[in-house]
Amino acid sequence: MFSDLGKEYSWLQRHERIVCLALVLVVTAFGINKWLDKSAIDASNKAAVAIQVAAVQHDADQKVAAAIAQQTALFNQEQQAREQEMASLVAAVASRDAASNNRVAVVTQPKTTPQAVADLNSVYTLPTPLTVEEAGLIPIADLQQFTVAKIQGDTAQADLADTRKELATTTASLSSATSLVGSLQNQVTGLQTELKDVTVAKDAEIASVKAAARKSKRNWFIAGLITGFGLRVATGH
């Protein structure tokens, strides 16, 4: 028994440096192993989270893009209808003004009192039409002026109504355009965020791959270390 103990002690004496070195390497390898494991796990978790965030943002951007496509199509349809309405209103005003000018030219031609009274009654809605006798003392020029004032007043009121419609149409168009621009700005912001998330995910995935590679190298290093140490002991060096 004592002989066996002596042999073991003698073996330790001969291999003292190797044993100490082996212990140091084991402790160091254990610490590095723990650090590399944690580093690989953390990198993998960060990569998974970053990829998920990028995927969520991409899905949100796809939905925003679909909504904006619908909004743009609706805006184009509405804009076409508004342009047609504006063209119709402008044409109506131009036509009305031309007709008004023609009527003014007709009623201001040299006329007799009965003719001037007839023109006046044609533009005014009176409970009792004006008679020639009632207008006998009124100058023909004044009768014509009253008629012109009514024609131009009616034209101005109709033009004002159409102008208000034009203003309302322009306001609606501006509001729709502003809304569309706001949506497009939101889409740009979302795409910028997605680009940033994709970049973060890419960097995180690269870091995860590098961490896994370091872990693999560590395993090969430890395996080589153990093999070399075993061979050294086995050969008695």
> In which domain, by residue range, is 90 found?
2-235
Q: How confident is the chain (237 residues) per 10-residue block, as mean pLDDT? A: 51 58 60 64 77 84 89 91 94 96 96 94 89 87 95 96 94 91 88 83 76 64 58 54
Cβ atoms within 10 Å, residue 181: 10
Output the domain CATH number for residue 82. Answer: 1.10.287
In angstroms, what CA-CA distances link 34 with 23, 27, 142, 214?
17, 11, 109, 12
Q: How many domains does the chain have?
A: 1
pLDDT of 226: 59
DSSP annotation of 112: -
pLDDT of 96: 96
pLDDT of 31: 61
pLDDT of 2: 42
Q: Give me the sign of the Cα torsion angle 18, 21, 23, 28.
A: negative
Provide the 3-class DSSP secondary structure of residue 15. Answer: coil
pLDDT of 59: 87
Q: 221, 106 in Cβ contact below 8 A?
A: no
Of the candidates 147, 97, 98, 143, the one whose C-alpha atom is nearest the C-alpha of residue 122 is 147
Q: Give me the sign of the Cα torsion angle 168, 174, 180, 186.
A: negative
Q: 32, 217 in Cβ contact below 8 A?
A: no
The C-alpha atoms of residue 237 and residue 49 are separated, in whole angstroms, by 51
Cβ atoms within 10 Å, residue 21: 13
Q: 208, 44 in Cβ contact below 8 A?
A: yes
Pseudo-torsion of CA 164, 170, 172, 174, nearest 10°?
Answer: -150
Place of tokens 């965020």: 193
133: amino acid identity, one letter = E
